[in-house]
Structure 1
Amino acid sequence: MSTMDKQLYDYMIANLTAISDKWLTLRDEKRGSIYSLEAGESAEALLREQNRLTNLTVTSILLNDKHLFETNKEEWAREVAESRINSNTSVPEVLGALSKARQTYWSFIEEFAKSKGKEVTSDDLLRWGTSIHLAFDELYIHFSEMYYKIMNSRLAVQQSLIEELSFPIIQLNGTIGVLPLIGNIDTFRGEGFLDYIPAKCVELDVTHLFIDLSGVSEIDTMVVQQINPFMQVLKLLGINSTLTGIRPEIAQTSVQLGLEFSHFDTYNSLQQALSELYPLTLDKNQNK
């Protein structure tokens, strides 16, 4: 690290508050944005704290310590990405704010260079320009990656919750499960049905699944065609399956499509199926 680099580093560290102050003056009055002048004191305090972290991260590159810069960059990207996702701020909006942060940061380097006069050479300016702009470019990239990663993680959790609510498997005992389907089952929901249920049965150690269709008001033709292979998948996994509560219109659709369910157990109602196959289990649940 050269003497002039050290002086610049000390100057930028000493002016962290001033850099953030100047950056905050660039906010506009766009309503509904965390970057808006109308966002309030708490938003301003958060932005000030995070801009300080931005400037600390960029300034650390002057120390020629790659590990330190990478550590700071990781902390910065995670904190800012989580914060912007929580405030429903888009990636383009964040990158726009970062662009203003870059301009503000560089203006302080220009002020430092002017104050030093001829002590700062063209080589110094070229070196600083290369390293500082590279640092900001890396922040752009890593923020976008972190934002995408966190969003995907949250969406996966939400999707899992949707599947659990859409296809609730109720365990009557350790190995008997009931899947009460309610409402309209279209192709989109049917895909989740096929992807989710077999894996969930294995996870819950279900060996016999009762699929109750009595609450289904309408079922997509494509889904009806998948019932047979779906039950075969369960069978290959060692899981017996029984259809109950098939409505007349669904039965008619199955016949019209030439679907054959004779090799699967079907019952008029869930209670009828349980009373015949697991009478003791039904009695225990009714007495609870």
Structure 2
Amino acid sequence: MDEQNLHLYDYLMSNLSRITDEWIAQRNEELGSIYSKNMSDEIEALLRSQNKMTNETVASALLDESLFRKKKENWALIVAGSRAKSNTPIHEVLDSISKVRSIYWRFVGEYADLHQNLISQKVLIYWSSIIHGAFDQLQSKFAHTYFLIMNKRRSAQQALIEELSSPVIPVTATKGILPLIGDIDTLRAQFLLESIPAKCSKANIEHLYIDLSGVSIIDTMVAQKLYQLTKILSLLGIECLITGIRPEIVQTSVQLRLDFTGVSTFSSLQQALSKHAFELGKELLPM
């Protein structure tokens, strides 16, 4: 059967262009999709190249399993990376692979018709198992690789968002402002707890103004994290001053019996800075 596999392999490899042409011809006019027939010549060239790689990868399963695995890994990295870059939904890719599978199997049938006296039903069933199994593995490997790439991208974006959402802004050589804006959930509060002490130490901050005027809601868990943050900073020798604190935040803190008596509070950041204007004027950072 190895010899028959080799003959089929040679036939498929000699018809790679025909397989790709049929696949390209099936594209629809879907706006915004990389698989749309309205896409540029550059995109079409990319699709042709990657479709050829798909066909070669599947064909290699007829020769050697280890060769197929190696090609499958390389194929998944290239195609999944390309689709992630173009933000192509995973269902569009899987649908595209299914179309390739159908076309591919038609060419296997075409070869079988040309050599029907030499190919038994048993051989066809065997080829069906190999080829459909190869496509199944490609789809599974693609989905897994695509997930890893997108998850890594989301993690990087989330880390950037968290970093930008908790800036410690130095206003003098020893004083800094932490402006908090938007909703603070438990995850963001934990990030503040873990990152702000290090940022303050790195910037040699001795007095930190934590401005809450841009925060709409703080639940009990977040209030506790904020309390822990002031205690950690205090242990590091950093004085905390809370500005823009809302009545509901005070009420939540009282209900939780969180003792903020050692922390100076102000109704606004402007009020806090005005009170310390003399000290700030002497310490302002050089322009």
User: Which category of TM-score, normalised to the shorter sequence, fits these structures?
Assistant: 0.7 to 0.9
State the partner residue of 2:217. Answer: 220
Q: Distance in 2 between the 1:22 and 1:160 partners?
A: 44
**Root-mean-square deviation over aligned CA pairs:** 3.1
Task: Deviation per CA, 1:86-130: give whole Å up to 9, x if none.
Answer: 222111111111100000111111111111121112222111110
Q: Equivalent of 1:269, from 269, 272, 281?
A: 272
Percent identical among aligned pairs is: 32
TM score, norm. by length of structure 1: 0.82
For the pair 1:16 / 2:16, whether they are aligned, the reply is: yes
Deviation by residue 1:53-89 (Cα, 9 ceiling, x = unmatched): 10111111111232x2122111111211122222221
Instruction: Trace 1:68-83 onto structure 2 (pairs within 5 A).
Output: 68-83=67-82
* Separation (CA, whole Å) in 1 of partners of 2:54 and 2:238: 57
Query: Cα 1:256–1:3, aligned 2, differ >3 Å: closer, same or farther?
Result: closer
Partner residue, 2:49? 49
Q: Quick one: structure 1 residues 233 and 213, their matched pair in 2 at CA, closer, same or farther if it must change by over 3 Å?
A: closer
- Measured in 2, the distance between the counterparts of 1:126 and 1:135 equals 14
Query: Which residue is 2:191 aligned to?
Result: 195
Distance 1:130 1:255, change over 3 A: closer
Equivalents in 1 of 2:229, 2:199: separation in Å? 17
Q: Deviations over 1:27-63 (max 9, x none)?
A: 1222221111112212211111110010111111111
CA distance in 1, matches of 2:277, 2:148: 45
Q: Distance in 1 between matches of 2:139 and 2:168?
A: 44
Unaligned 5+ residue runs, structure 1? Answer: none
> Matched residues in 1 for 2:180 and 2:51: separation?
50
Contact kept, 8 Å, 2:58 with 2:135, in 1: the verdict is yes
SS in 1 for 2:126: helix
1:100-249 paired onto structure 2 within 5 Å: 100-170=99-169, 178-183=176-181, 185-188=182-185, 191-199=187-195, 201-202=197-198, 206=202, 210-214=207-211, 216-222=213-219, 223-234=222-233, 239-244=236-241, 246-247=243-244, 249=245
Give the 3 Å change call, closer, same or farther, for CA 287–177 of structure 1 in structure 2.
closer
* Deviation, structure 1 residue 170: 4.0
**SS in structure 2 at match of 1:38:** coil
Counterpart amino acid of residue 286 in structure 1: L
Structure 2 residue runs without a partner (length 5+): none
Q: Following TM superposition, by how much is the alpha carbon of 1:169 offset from its aligned partner in structure 2, in angstroms?
A: 2.6
CA contact (8 A) 2:180 2:213 kept: yes
Query: What is aligned with 2:90?
Result: 91
CA shift in 2, pair 1:285/1:262, >3 Å: same
Q: Shift in Å at residue 216 of structure 1?
A: 2.3
Summarize deviations over 1:120-149 as a string: whole Å, max 9, x none.
122221111101111100111111111111
Distance 2:252 2:41 in 1: 66
